[in-house]
Amino acid sequence: MEGAAPEEAPDLTAAPGAAEAELPPGVVAQSLGQYVRAYTARIRSGESGVLPVILAMFAIMLVFTIISPNHVFLSAGNLVNLFQQAAVFMVLAMAEGFALILGEIDLSVGFVGACGAAIAVQLIQPITTNWHWVPAILAGLLFCAVFGLIQGTLITRLRLPSFIVTLAGFLIANGIFLKILLLGPFSGYPNLAGQSDNLHVIYNLMWGTIDPTTSWIGAGVVVIGLGLVTWLSDSRRRRSGLVAPPASLSLIKIGLIAVVAIVVVGISNTNRANLGTLEGVPWMIPIVLAVLGVWTVVLSRTKFGRYMYAIGGNPEAARRAGINVALIRTVGFGLCSFTAGVAIMLYASLLGGMSNNLQGGQYVLYAVAAAVIGGTSLFGGRGKPLHGVLGGLVIAAIYNGLYLQGISSVEWQYIVTGLVLLAAIVIDAVSRRGAASGSVTRT
């Protein structure tokens, strides 16, 4: 069968308009014009992809640019600052994504990640254990992964609700985190200041920069690599008659990647110091991209990823297909906690140490909100790591913008967090309802 089937025997019972609206545009479009029409139809039916979140982001940025004092929001210094704040949300949202795709929730990510980061920060302290940074980070991430696997085992083997198990995990991890902080002679604040290469490395996860020339070369390599892969696979599929986007769309996609890379590197390479020079892409950008890239490949190109979506969509169908549902779900929770460890490791770097100021509970909400704002469904089976990255950027933009307005008090942060989370859930539920009813009502 050649891509789209011949129309000789139309299914009289299916409303043609409805089918149109629900199909991913890439599936039916032969030309760019058709693609745009199919995409518009799909947005109206609630299956909108990432476009709304990108539009929302531009709107938020526009508003804050206009109202921020001296339009400081759009300055290179503030935008890099925004990227750094966003990095934690982005990675944490990608972590939560694993639980959400399974149709579950993990409330413990904030403090489990905190335990991992605190372990790493403690182990590299020169006056106590003085570990090398590599085993220290690995030890922290291992703790997170094991914690997640234990939670996953309880949820799947004992059939306990993930909400309750990870709520318990949240409290337990909070306690362990405070215990870890009190170890050593640091009065509960092991920090990254000091003359040790290992301290510098973790501090530099967020604050280190790649020099401008290398930044451009790196961005070029990434864009060309991604572009080649996209173009070659799309054109191979077009040639062999498989479902593929039109060539113009492949080019637009590659062009967008290039534009984003140029904008990000351009901003980062602007000198953003008030005195002296501070320029170049922060390490955290390739770190976030690496997490995004690895988890995207795992979720979209491996059996494991396919089974994650299948379980989120219909666990019974997955079980009957011979999938080891309990194992996949347990591993999903393990990866969720592991990725949370990476996120809070970045947080430790951003703050230059760990302290009991960490709002682990609030971070969970930000993570869920970021994933959902980006397009991941709370109801399971739908979501991508990219959604976490986009949603994380939106949350960070709100956070950063409010801060610039001088609205930094904790009360307002709580209220805005709550409202944003609520808005995201409403959008998710409403768009889902739209998609479900669209199959019969829409013309």
Partner 1 sequence: MTAAVAEPRATGEPLLKVRGLDKHFGPVQALYHVDLDLLPGKVTALCGDNGAGKSVLTKCISGVYQRDQGEIFWEGHPVHVRNTRDAAHLGIETVYQDLALCDNLDIVQNMFLGRERLKNGMLDEDNMERAAGETLASLRVTTVRSVRQPVASLSGGQRQSVAVAKAVMWNSKLVIMDEPTAALGVVQTKQVLDLIKRLRDRGLAVMVISHNLTDVFEVADRIAVLYLGRLVVQGDASEFDLQKVVEYMTTGGSSRTNGARTAES
Q: Which residues bind partner 1 (CB under 8 A)?
A: 1-6, 8-14, 18-19, 22-24, 26-28, 236-237, 240, 242-243, 297, 301-303, 306, 309-310, 312-314, 316-318, 320-323, 381-382, 435, 439
- Report the alpha-carbon distance of residue 268 to residue 263 in Å, rounded: 8
User: Cα angle at 324 between 323 and 330, to 5 degrees?
Assistant: 130
- Report the alpha-carbon distance of residue 267 to residue 261 in Å, rounded: 10
360 touches 110 (CB < 8 A): yes
Q: Smallest distance from the beta carbon of 1 to partner 1, in angstroms?
A: 4
Query: Helical H runs in 71-211?
Result: 76-101, 109-123, 133-157, 162-182, 197-207
Q: Smallest distance from the beta carbon of 381 to partner 1, in angstroms?
A: 4
Which residue, 159 or 320, has its beta carbon nearer to partner 1? 320
Q: Smallest distance from the beta carbon of 221 to partner 1, in angstroms?
A: 22
Which residue, 130 or 240, has its beta carbon nearer to partner 1? 240
Which residue, 71 or 301, has its beta carbon nearer to partner 1? 301
Which residue, 304 or 403, has its beta carbon nearer to partner 1? 304
Scored b (16 or more CB within 10 A) or e, 409-435 reads eeeebeeebeebbeebeebbeebbebb
Quick one: how far is CA 351 from the chain centroid? 21
Q: Smallest distance from the beta carbon of 87 to partner 1, in angstroms?
A: 28
Which residue, 322 or 406, has its beta carbon nearer to partner 1? 322
Q: Smallest distance from the beta carbon of 235 to partner 1, in angstroms?
A: 12
192 touches 352 (CB < 8 A): yes
Which residue, 20 or 279, has its beta carbon nearer to partner 1? 20
Q: Smallest distance from the beta carbon of 378 to partner 1, in angstroms?
A: 13
- Report the alpha-carbon distance of residue 38 to residue 432 in Å, rounded: 18
DSSP 186: S
Q: Smallest distance from the beta carbon of 142 to partner 1, in angstroms?
A: 24
Which residue, 128 or 439, has its beta carbon nearer to partner 1? 439
- Report the alpha-carbon distance of residue 152 to residue 374 in Å, rounded: 25
Quick one: how far is CA 235 from the chain centroid? 29
